[in-house]
Amino acid sequence: MKQIQRLALLLLGTLLFASSLQAGARKTVYPVVFAHGLSGFDNLLGYFYFGDDSGVFVGDPCDEFLEVSCNGSIHSGQKALAASVQPFQSSEVRGTQLADRIQNYITTTGATKVNIIGHSQGGLDARKAAAVLRARYGRQVVHALISVSSPHRGSPVAKYILDLNPGVVSVINALATIFGNTIYGSGNDGYAAAKQLVYNDYSSTDGVTTGMKAFNTNYNVNSSNAAYYGSLITAQEGINVNPALYLVKQAFYNIDGDGYCIDDCDNDGAAGKGDGNKTNNDDDGLVGINSQQMGDRLQYNENLFSLDSISVNSSLGYVSNLNAPSSAQMTSKASVISQDHLDVVGIPPDTFDENEFYAAILDFIVSKGG
Amino acid sequence: MFQSKKRIYIILVLAACIFLGLYYSLRNKDKTEERFRELSKKQRIYEKRDLGDLPENYDQFSFSEFSDEQIAKILQEKYGKNIDNPRVQFALLEELMKELPKLYPDRWVEKLNEILQLAFPEKAMELFRLSEKMYSYNVFREKNMIRLGMMSEADRRKEVWKERYRLFGEKADEIWAIEKKMQNVSDALQRIQESPPGNIDAKLSSFKSTLKENFGKELPQVLAKRQQTLTEGFVQSVQKDLKIMSFAERKSTLRDIREAMGMDQAALNRWDALEDEREQKWKNLETYRNLRSKLLGGKTTLSPEKEKELEGLRTKLFGEEAEIIRNEEASGYYRTLEERTFGIN
């Protein structure tokens, strides 16, 4: 009898152990839309954008026993969409396209709201899309809006390329070198995309107002458009940076991205200024840390054999006005993820587990009611 | 005398070439690849060890706090059930190859070998050889990232698959199975897009056959997960057909496509309502464009009075979205100049 009891306990223990090893992120209340950055959603330097190293979409749950081409770290019932917009365009264009795609998704699924995770420019597009959807539906449609490595206050690389500084013979060639040949596809406007990513209006004589400062004024952090805003920040030093970005960093540019001032006081294309030290861990190869915080600064905690997690770094406070963060929000290296701009999406080789990372974000969204 | 001098010259030049060749080949040799090769050759067998139990709160431990036995035990639990599947093997090795170099920068390849033998003694050599290939594949991709990124998609695909087959043989098809299937679907959509307009039913049937060929009995699950993406892909590929239809014909065709892609009645009804709404939106954009161009009268900017008139119409036609359209135009983006993508926007 005792033997049977022991066996039963052992089996129970094994089951509990197995299930705890396989425990993944909780299912979000609303579906999650993944918004890509510059370049095509299914092709970034030849890789799938929101895919792991073997091309599996990080939002694809494993809904079958033994299914392996999926993300085993998310809930089997998770709903997600990798939305596709014009690879190289301003966020005014891409944000409206993203809103159209989300409206289509809502129509198909019957969902009442969505959460958005935007990488790089995708985080800017998401803010515009949230405003468009608010206007169309007459109510808040986006619950949580999370940006990853987004240049909310501009990128010096964009201005450097537009200025055709040493090492850059053409804006289009430079963008192609960093993001791949998708830029040569029809409908792309590399100039509009680059102008979008400069903080100030790039040209006072072209008859239009571009840049992140104006964009932030129009589509700021706004609780009418989304219930929750949070951001994950990336930075990495020299040799570890992806070869494509390393070229930008070493061959013709190196961002000094962790100094504070109001607006773009050193006219480098991004708000804030440098602290005089270019080589430290203050940018991810494209964006400085002083450009990336929107809403809460989020911290990514890696756990090898259990689900990774995301928490809020509350000591830095909330960026509610994207054009006026505090000095600490622009300069602190706290909770910065040590990865480059392209590591957090599907470009190997890297030491980053995309499946786990996005699973942790989904679980965090659940904790915020999304 | 002259002849022997010439001979000495030739010998010296040859010796210099050999020396430089050896120097560069040794300098460029990847030490990790060398280590993999040596260990594969040696086939060192580690003694079998009891893996013991894991602490109850093991999930609060960091990788560095586990013993080799504990890591092996966790790997058995996590991957053991599906260890014969190449994609699972790939995932297991990726995890170890990500963590071990951080802890053992100079001897992570040896550690990998040891842990694999502890966790999966029967499969250890197969897994170790696979990890060696994965390492070489990563080196290839890293070295060629920009060159491949600048290639046409077809050329890049050809070169990447050539390298995958060279390293992994037939296993490559299983490791990148989903990529291959999605690529086949994408190619089918491309062919439909390039075909002349007409016979949309046949195009839909051909697309569904492609889906079935690639996903087989998994198709219902794939459709459930990617219904929106696959439906939009097909709708995009038949724009030429949709463009020449009347609104009523187009709406009915789009409904048929969506139904064939598995949408239920409620979804189809929501889509009907959205198609009506969008038809009206595009009519409004046309009205707006006409008034704007009339007000401009060939000029590039509007007087304050005319701007006020335009703003009044914008608000009337687009409601709350009017302000956003004004922002867009200030930045140089005009929705009125965009081409409509039927069934998408």
pLDDT the model gives residue B260: 96
B274/A107 Cβ within 8 A = yes
Asked if residue B12 belongs to a domain, the reply is no
Which residues have CB under 8 Å from B217's CB, separation 6+? none
B178/A110 Cβ within 8 A = no
Decide which of B207, B228, B263 is a domain's last residue.
Answer: B263
A240 touches chain B (CB under 8 A): no
Query: Same domain, yes or no, for B249 and B146?
Result: no
Query: Same domain, yes or no, for B307 and B337?
Result: yes
Q: pLDDT digits over A292-303, tens only?
A: 999 999 999 988
Query: Same domain, yes or no, for B164 and B181?
Result: no
The Cα–Cα gap between A365 and B201 comes to: 41
Q: What's the whole-model pTM score?
A: 0.89
A81/B229 Cβ within 8 A = yes
Decide which of B237, B263, B289 is a domain's last residue.
Answer: B263
Query: Same domain, yes or no, for B193 and B302?
Result: no
Asked if residue B22 belongs to a domain, the reply is no
User: Residues of A with CB below 8 A from B330's CB?
Assistant: 208-209, 214
Query: Same domain, yes or no, for B313 and B290?
Result: yes
B320/A135 Cβ within 8 A = yes
Asked if residue B256 belongs to a domain, the reply is yes
User: Residues of B with CB below 8 A from A61's CB?
Assistant: 225
The closest CB to that of B58, out of A48, A93, A305, belongs to A305
Asked if residue B53 belongs to a domain, the reply is no
The Cα–Cα gap between A323 and A294 comes to: 10
Query: Same domain, yes or no, for B291 and B183?
Result: no
The Cα–Cα gap between A201 and A195 comes to: 8
A32-368 CATH, one of 3.40.50.1820, 3.30.450.20, 2.60.120.10, 3.40.50.300: 3.40.50.1820
Asked if residue B224 belongs to a domain, the reply is yes
The closest CB to that of B176, out of A54, A136, A218, belongs to A54
The closest CB to that of B149, out of A21, A54, A181, belongs to A181
Asked if residue B54 belongs to a domain, the reply is no
pLDDT the model gives residue A364: 98
Asked if residue B84 belongs to a domain, the reply is yes
A9 touches chain B (CB under 8 A): no
Kindly indicate the confidence band of residue A17, based on its pLDDT and cuts at 50, 70 and 90: very low
The tokens of A227 are what? 């219930």
More confident residue, A155 or A281: A155
Cis peptide before A349 (omega within 30 of 0): yes
Host H or E run for residue A299: strand A296-301
The tokens of A208 are what? 């239009």
pLDDT the model gives residue A350: 65
Distance to chain B for A289, nearest Cα, Å: 25
Domain chopping of chain A, boundaries: 32-368
The whole-chain average pLDDT of chain B stands at 90
The tokens of A73 are what? 């770290």
The helix/strand/coil state of A309 is: strand
Domain range spanning residue B326?
276-344
Q: pLDDT digits over A250-285, tens only?
A: 767 888 899 999 999 999 999 999 988 887 889 999
Asked if residue B296 belongs to a domain, the reply is yes
Decide: A153 and A123 in contact? Cβ < 8 Å: no
CA B331 vs CA A204, A215, B253: distances in Å: 12, 9, 36
pLDDT above 70 for A25: yes
Kindly indicate the confidence band of residue B11, based on its pLDDT and cuts at 50, 70 and 90: confident
pLDDT the model gives residue B22: 58
Q: pLDDT digits over B216-230, tens only?
A: 998 998 898 899 999
CA angle B171, B175, B181 (to 5 degrees): 110
The helix/strand/coil state of B205 is: helix
Considering its fold, how many domains does chain B have in total? 3
Q: pLDDT digits over B134-176, tens only?
A: 999 989 988 888 888 888 888 989 999 999 999 999 999 998 8
